[in-house]
Amino acid sequence: MSGILFLRKKCQQSIIQEREAIDLEKIQKIVENQQRFYQSGVTRQLSVRISALKRLKTVLMKNEQQLTAALKVDLNKSAYETYASEIGIVLSEISFAIKHLKKWMKPVKVKTPMTHLGSKSMIYSVPYGSALIIGPWNYPIQLILAPLVGAIAAGNCAVLKPSELTPQTAQVISDLIEETFPSDYIAVVQGDADTTQSLLAEPFDYMFFTGSVPVGKIVMEAAAQTLTPVTLELGGKSPCIVHADADLDLAAKRIAWGKFMNAGQTCVAPDYLYVHKSVKEPFLKKLIQATQSLYGQNALENSEYTHIVNGKHFQRLKGYLSEGEIVHGGHFDESRLAIEPTILEKADWTDTVMQEEIFGPVFPLIEYETLAEVMEGISKNPNPLSLYLFTQNQKIEDTIVQSVSFGGGCINDTIFHIISPYLPFGGVGSSGMGSYHGKASFDTFSHQKSIMTQTTRFDNPYRYPNAKNGLQVLRRLLK
C-alpha cells in the first residue's frame, strides 16, 4: 500500500512539474513574440494605438453584463458599484486617451541655452517595449485595465496578470482580451504566486504593479535584477480628519461612502478617522445614520453589499472586532464572508487594527484636540497613499497638505481625486512610486528621449580646448 502511495505521489509531482514547465514555456514564448512584434514598429503608429483603444472600449461596453456577473460571483459587487468603480472609470480613461493622444505623441520643443547657440532641442515620448501589468483582486477590472490604457496609448505591448483571488473576473478578462487582440500585442497570463514569479523573471521592458507592500517589494527586487523601470501602486493606512468647523452632514455622507464602498476593500479608503473632540458625538451619530442610509439597518441582509474576498481576509478582519469598543455594527456572516460596516472607538496604537492596513469595513475612530496630535499620530505609520481632511479653514488645509507626506487626497471629500484624469494618482515612500491616470498614464509607459539637433552652418570654437580665449568665453556663458 505504501508503494502505491509513493508511486501516486511521484506521479502527482511529475504532473505538477510538467505543468510548470509548460506554463514557463508559454510565458517565455509570449514575451519573445511581443518583443518581436514591438520591434516591427506597428504599435508605435498613432492609428494602431487609437484603433486598439477603441476596440478595448467596444469590448468592455458589449460585455458589461458578463463582467458584472463575474464580479457578483467573486465579490458580490452590485451592478451600480461595478460600473461606478470599475467599468465606467476604465471607459472614461479610454475616451480621454483617444481624445488627447495625438497631442501627447507630438515631440515637445524646449528652450536651448546660449552655450548651444544654433541648435534645436526636442523631447520625444517613446514606448518602452513590452510591459508587465500585475493587477489586484479588490478592483480586478479597473486596476488592471486602466494601466493597460496607458500602455497601449504609449505604444507598448503588454502582458496582464490578473489576481487569482477573483477567478471569474480574471477568466472573463482573459477571454475578452484574447478575442480582441493577438497575444503578440496584448496577452493575459493567469495563475498563482508561482506564475507571478515566473513572469517577473522574464525580460520585460517595464513593470507596473498594484497590490500590497510586501509583494511590491518582491516586484521591485525582481525589477532590480535587470534594472527594469517599475511603477508600484501600493497602500497604507490612509487617515481621515474631521475638524471642528467641518460640514458634519456632508462629511458623514462622503466618509461613509468612501470607507464602506466595496466593503472597505479599497487601497485609498479612509483607514482610520480623527474627529475633533468638540464635534465627535454629533458627528458619530451622523456617520451611523449615513452608513445605514447607504446599506440599510442590517447590511448583512442587503443583497447589494460587497463581501470579503476570501476566508483568510475574513478571519483577519474578524480579529479586529475584538479590539477597541464597537459603537456600531460588529455583526458578520461567515458563511457568506460578509462583515457589516463597523465603527470602533478606544482602539490603541498598539492594537493590530491601528498598525496594519485594515482593507475592510472596520473603521477606528480617534478623538483629538489639536492638529499636532493628528500629525504625530499619522507620523507613527509609513507614508499613507491618501489623506482626507474636512475643514472650512484654509490655514488648516495648508498646514496638513504641506506638512504631512502622503500620495494624494481630498479636502472635504474622499476617494474622488482618483477619478480625475487631470490628477496623477500614485503613492510616496512605502505607499508606492510613480503615478498614472490621464496623461500621467501615457507618461508612465513612455521614455522621455531628449534629442538635440546641432547646426552645421557654423561651429562654436569655445567648445574645443585649443580655442583662443575659450575658457573666458565658457565662464561667461555658463554663469
pLDDT band at 113 (very low <50, low <70, confident <90, very high): confident
Average pLDDT over residues 441-456: 96
Rounded CA separation 299/294 (Å)? 9
Burial of 375 (0-12, 13-18, 19+ CB in 10 A): middle
Query: What rounded mean pLDDT belongs to the chain?
Result: 93
Cα separation, 77 vs 64, in Å, equals: 13
**Tens digits of residue pLDDT in 65-89:** 999 999 999 999 999 999 999 999 9
102 and 71 in a single domain? The answer is yes
- CB contact at 8 A, 45 and 164: no
Question: For residue 14, what pLDDT is reported?
Answer: 46
Query: Residues with Cβ < 8 Å from 469, sequence gap 6 or more?
Result: 462
Q: What CATH number has the domain bearing residue 414?
A: 3.40.309.10
**Which three-class secondary structure state does DSSP give residue 168?**
helix
Lowest mean pLDDT: which of 55-64, 430-439, 462-471? 462-471
Residue range 105-112: mean pLDDT, rounded: 96
Is 407 found in the same domain as 269?
yes
Does residue 12 surpass a pLDDT of 60?
no
φ, ψ of residue 362 in degrees (nearest 5):
-115, 125
Q: Is residue 1 part of a domain?
A: no
Structural domain contains residue 406: yes
Residue 227 shares a structural domain with residue 110: yes
Helix intervals (H) in 261-389: 280-295, 311-320, 371-379
* Assigned domain for 5 exists: no
209 and 350 both lie in a single domain: no
Distance (Å, whole) CA 472 – CA 35: 50
Number of domains the chain is built from: 2
Mark whether 200 and 121 lie in a shared domain.
Answer: yes
User: Is 329 domain-assigned?
Assistant: yes
Averaged pLDDT for residues 82-108: 98
**Per-residue confidence (pLDDT) for residue 18, from 0 to 100:** 44
Q: Strand ranges (DSSP E) for 282-440?
A: 325-328, 332-333, 338-339, 342-345, 362-368, 386-390, 408-411, 432-433
Q: Report helix, strand or coil for 410.
A: strand
CATH number of the structural domain spanning residue 180 = 3.40.605.10
| Domain annotation covers residue 474 | no
| 336 and 214 both lie in a single domain | no
256 and 351 in a single domain? The answer is: yes
Task: Answer yes or no: is 244 within a domain.
Answer: yes
Query: What distance in Å separates the CA atoms of residue 297 and residue 283, rounded to the nearest whole number?
Result: 18
Question: Cell for 246?
Answer: 467641518
β-strands 108-110, 120-127 pairing: antiparallel
Tell me the pTM.
Answer: 0.92
| pLDDT value at residue 355 | 92
Neighbours of 95 (CB within 10 A): 15
Q: With a cut of 80, say whether residue 10 has pLDDT above it.
A: no
212: exposed, middle or buried (C-beta count within 10 Å: 0-12, 13-18, 19+)?
A: middle
- Does residue 184 register a pLDDT over 80? yes
* Rounded alpha-carbon distances, angstroms, from residue 270 to 246, 256, 259, 406: 17, 9, 5, 13
Long-range contacts of 88-92 (CB under 8 A, 24+ apart): 89/142, 89/146, 89/419, 90/60, 90/141, 90/142, 90/145, 90/146, 90/149, 91/57, 91/60, 91/61, 92/419, 92/421
4 pLDDT more than 50: no
114 lies in the same domain as 251:
no
pLDDT of 199 over the 60 cut: yes
**Helix/strand/coil (H/E/C) assignment for every residue in 241-267:** EECCCCCHHHHHHHHHHHHHHHHHCCC
Pair (357, 394) in one structural domain: yes
**351/356 Cα distance (integer angstroms):** 9
Q: Which H or E run contains 43?
A: none
- Residue 461: the pLDDT is 83
Q: Which residue blocks in 296-413 are alpha helix, DSSP H? A: 311-320, 371-379, 394-403
**Model confidence at 7: pLDDT above 50:** no
pLDDT tens per residue, range 317-348: 999 999 999 999 999 999 999 999 999 999 88
| Region of poorest pLDDT, from 254-258, 284-288, 341-345, 453-457 | 453-457
Active-site residue list: 233, 267
Half-sphere exposure of 148 (CA within 13 A, CB side): 29
Q: What is the pLDDT of residue 338?
A: 97
Note whether 272 and 398 are same-domain residues.
yes
Beta bridge partners of 338: 333
Q: Are residues 172 and 125 in the same domain?
A: yes
The pLDDT tens digits of the residues spanning 395-424 come to 999 999 999 999 999 999 999 999 999 999
DSSP string, 183-240: TTTEEE----HHHHHHHHTS--SEEEEES-HHHHHHHHHHHHHHT--EEEE-----EE
DSSP character string of 18-30:
HHHHHHHHHHHHH
Instruction: At 74, give phi and psi (nearest 5°).
Output: -70, -40
Q: What is the pLDDT of residue 2?
A: 52
Confidence of residue 471 (pLDDT cuts 50, 70, 90): confident
Residue 145 placed within a domain: yes
Is it the case that residue 6 has pLDDT exceeding 80?
Answer: no
- What is the distance between the alpha carbons of residues 454 and 462, in angstroms, rounded to a whole number? 15
Percentage of the chain exceeding pLDDT 90: 87
Whether residue 444 lies inside any domain: the answer is yes
My answer on whether 55 and 135 are in the same domain is yes
pLDDT higher than 90, residue 49: yes
Residue 462's pLDDT band (cuts 50, 70, 90):
confident
Q: Which domain holds residue 331?
A: 239-426
pLDDT at position 15, please?
40
